[in-house]
Amino acid sequence: MEKVAQILHWNKNWINEDMALFVTRSSRVHLFRKAEEQNIVLWQGVNLCVLAAPMEWALERKLRRIHHTDRGRKTSHDMHDAIAMLKHLRDKNGGPLDKNYIAGMNLNTFDVLPDDTTMSRVEAEYQQTFNEKIFQ
């Protein structure tokens, strides 16, 4: 964000902290490249194009938030978002996904992975919503 501000000669605080997520420095370029490959444009103006975060990484973050609901975070929409992302990935994959792969996604490499209870909750919610298996 600071790089965009510098290039466009904007105030370096042009976007607020509510938009921030911690991403390791080594993961930033990877995420940006994946967002470019995915090419889901959320908004585009003369000087700025906002791309959606890579779907798998966004799902990873949602699963972490669901797993850590006891930490007082607002997660009212996280389950709905997670199962919508899982539906997108399942359709793209042409069938059920690998549960261990999804639960083990960890781009930052130090985050606590969602446990079996969390994954079972997500799986049950998906089944109830879409009436199909999400995991193999």
Any idea what the Cα angle at residue 102 is, between residues 98 and 106, rounded to 5°?
145
Amino acid occupying residue 32: F
Residue 50 sits at φ, ψ, to 5 deg, of -100, 115
Residue 27 sits at φ, ψ, to 5 deg, of -90, -15
- Residues in CB range of 69: below 8 A, 6 or more apart: 75
The pTM assigned to this predicted structure is 0.76
Report which of residues 18 and 115 the model is more confident about: 115
CB 6 within 8 A of CB 50: no
Nearest to 40 by CA among 50, 29, 30: 50
What is the spatial distance between Cα 38 and Cα 46, in angstroms, rounded to a whole number? 21
pLDDT tens profile 56-110: 999 998 999 899 876 655 666 899 999 999 999 999 999 999 999 999 998 877 7
For the cut 80, the answer to whether the pLDDT of residue 133 exceeds it is: yes
What is the spatial distance between Cα 135 and Cα 57, in angstroms, rounded to a whole number? 18
Report which of residues 91 and 23 the model is more confident about: 91
